[in-house]
Chains A and B, each alone.
Chain A
Amino acid sequence: MSAETVTLQHVGKTWCPVGRPSVEALRDFSIDIEPGEFIVLLGPSGCGKSTLLYMLAGLEDISTGTIREGGREITGPSPDRGLIFQEAALFPWLTIAQNVSFGLSIQGLGSKECEQRARELLRSVGLGGLMDKKPDELSGGMRQRAACARALAMRPKLLMMDEPFAALDVQTRAKMQDFLLQLWQDSGASIVLVTHSIDEAIALADRVVVFTARPGTVKTIVPIDIPRPRASRDPRVHELRDQFTELLADEVDRAFAEQEAL
């Protein structure tokens, strides 16, 4: 285990809304995320995988257990741990370049340096010519690239992504997955990506964490050591797809049964 390993131990989350019964979203979740590793959290919707991501980012309190980064407990958000949302969440009142350098300018970097860094970063994500565009003038895929550039500007050790490609069409999605793998290899950051798409999980992950239905916890962790890019015709990919489909079907059945019992 390296010094930079992110360790989750017996992490749980219970929502206690005022005047309503409390809901246990996550229970006894444990995993070690090694530096540079690509982890995909796969599970049915409502299984608490996004909640886990927000706790990992430090945006949500942990009810039980601990999350440690290199031995230190995570108590709040940090630029070290970048988060990318399903919708890019770029600020419409800033140009793309200003959006990308927003974090740098918050940290007190001058406007000249900000522009310089934004130019480099945008070039690295293939948006070099769009510095002065408004976010609304970009396509969904481009916006998501700009959001990646904004997170990368802070040189994060860990990049978290909450269903980042769910709102994109299938072709763009495939392109963005290639783009993400390239970015991952270049940056050396660890990535934790949440998805409910089995194909996305197989295309990207070093390890896939399959969630149980609510309360979410680790059902099983499946390592994938097929070299990338992983062709969908590959028999090993087929096998994995069948395996994940079966694992998830169990959980979806359970979730349905639970809802009917209510």
Chain B
Amino acid sequence: MLVTARARMMRGTRRLGVALPIENLAKYTQFGWAVASIGLFAGLWELAWALGYANPLLLPPPHIFLSNMSRTLSYFDNSDAIGGTAASSGLVGLLMTCVFTTLRVVTGLALGFVLGVAAGALIHYVTLARNLLTPLILLLAPISPVAWLPVSIFLFGIGNVPAIFLVFITLFFAITLSTVAQLETVPRSYLNVARIMGASERQTFLRVVLPSILPSLFVTLRLNLFAAWMVVLIAEAVGVGSGLGQITSVARSTFNAQLTFFTMGIIGLLGFFFDWSLRQIQARLLWWVAPNGGRR
């Protein structure tokens, strides 16, 4: 399926050969607007500083918090050890910090997605599970992930696991409830086609039910991505002792505004990149669905 999708895409680009410059132009225009948008914000900030409205110690404008990089980077540690002393590992340290935080988010999201679909399927197909689990899940789902923070530290101590657990909790209930709701809406005729063709229950689930609910599940995943991204920083600041969240916490306690704004910039960029990657995965994996969720 993926192979044909890719072949189709390549054929598509070839066919669009003539229209390519126009498409490029649109891309440049979009990029131009992005630069203008961020530039305007930075410019106003710099202006406020130049006019003396923004205290450089509290709200250092970009040219200040981006200066003296080596000092800022010295806070980033490539060992991912708790309370690591950051032996001036510089750019590598920054990258490693980002990688560790990202890995926690990805692991938590993957676990939450897979186990959420499994729990949803269990509730849909097994009456006992439906009766036993539905009230519990409806009770637990509205609890903010942040409220789980102490629980996750009680359970897993300080380290990687509580952060992953929090990301997992953020996604798990949403995916479970979404799966249950979506399974109700799988068209009867799809299931009938599978039955007539002699599909086993496993074949029916993997080849008919799952693809038909996957687009909606992906929307749920993307909606909860930002929440997961916020929660991992809180977990890192409190329960992990490393990663970008920990840097923010250090910046706060040492009153380091440069480091604060620099880290915020990194967090923003990573979050943006994350959403972008998910959209790319969506476009490849769910090639029959338009980007906005509707049918193309």
Contact = CB atoms under 8 A, between A and B. Distances in A.
On whether the two chains bind one another, the answer is yes
Interface of A: 57, 59, 76-79, 81-83, 85, 87, 89, 91-95, 98, 102-103, 106-107, 132, 134, 136, 150, 154
Interface stretch (B114-122, B194-202, B264-272): B194-202
B295 A102 contact: no
A102 B193 contact: yes
State the main secondary structure of chain B at its contact with A.
helix
Nearest to B285: A93
Interface residues of B, number: 24
B52 interface: no
Contact of A81 (B1, B196, B286, B295): B196
Point out which of A76, A91, A94, A107 has the most chain B C-beta atoms below 10 A from its C-beta. Answer: A91
Interface in B226-270: none
Shortest Cβ-Cβ A-B pairs, 5 listed: A103-B197, A89-B189, A93-B211, A77-B196, A77-B195
A157 to B, nearest CB: 13
B291 to A, nearest CB: 15
Contacts, number: 68
B211 A91 contact: yes
Contacts of A81: 196
Contact of A78 (B190, B198, B207): B198
Contacts of B286: 93
Given A87-B189, A92-B288, A94-B1, A102 B196 contact: no
A56 B230 CA distance: 56
Contacts of B288: 92-93, 134, 136
A103 B189 contact: no
Given A92-B295, A93-B1, 5 more contacts: A102-B207, A103-B196, A103-B198, A106-B203, A107-B197
B203 to A, nearest CB: 6
A79 to B, nearest CB: 5
11 contacts: A59-B192, A76-B195, A89-B187, A91-B208, A93-B214, A95-B4, A103-B198, A106-B197, A106-B207, A107-B197, A136-B295
Contacts of B193: 83, 89, 91, 102, 150
Interface string B174-210: 0000000000000101101111111100010001100
B213 to A, nearest CB: 11
Nearest to A133: B8
Contact of B1 (A98, A107, A150): A98
